[in-house]
Amino acid sequence: MDKYLKQQLKAWAYDKIVSNPKKFGGDFGNAHIMYAYLIEFYGSSLVNELEEQQMSILSTISRDRNKLLLKHPELDCRIKHKAKVKSNAVGNKS
């Protein structure tokens, strides 16, 4: 994904959140905004049949994946968005 597309997506997301903060900025905002994006940019009948609960499940899977990759760095094959390892300055005995 290039910088221009990232900027466009960020601006689109910001506009959505500003347009309805309770919906897109609330507890289920991630699912709502993913659903809105799919409807707006890929408005096919298949996308229209997806329910927000399904988007919520996808969002949960994505968050769980990120947590699992942090817990098991040997499985983390990301290059660009790899989580940075935090050092514990107090616990280091080097």
* Domain definitions of the chain by residue range: 10-75
Q: Spell out the residues 6+ positions from residue 85 whose beta carbon is closer than 8 angstroms to its own.
A: 73
Predicted confidence band of residue 91 (pLDDT cuts 50, 70, 90): low
Gap between the Cα atoms of 10 and 59, Å rounded: 17
Q: What angle do CA 83, 85, 88 make, to 5 degrees?
A: 145
* N-term to C-term CA, the chain: 40
pTM of the predicted structure, to 2 decimals: 0.60
pLDDT at site 94: 44
Give the model confidence (pLDDT) of 4-62 as tens digits.
888 898 899 999 999 999 888 887 777 788 888 888 888 777 777 877 777 777 777 77
Question: Could you tell me where the beta strands, DSSP code E, fall in 17-65?
Answer: none
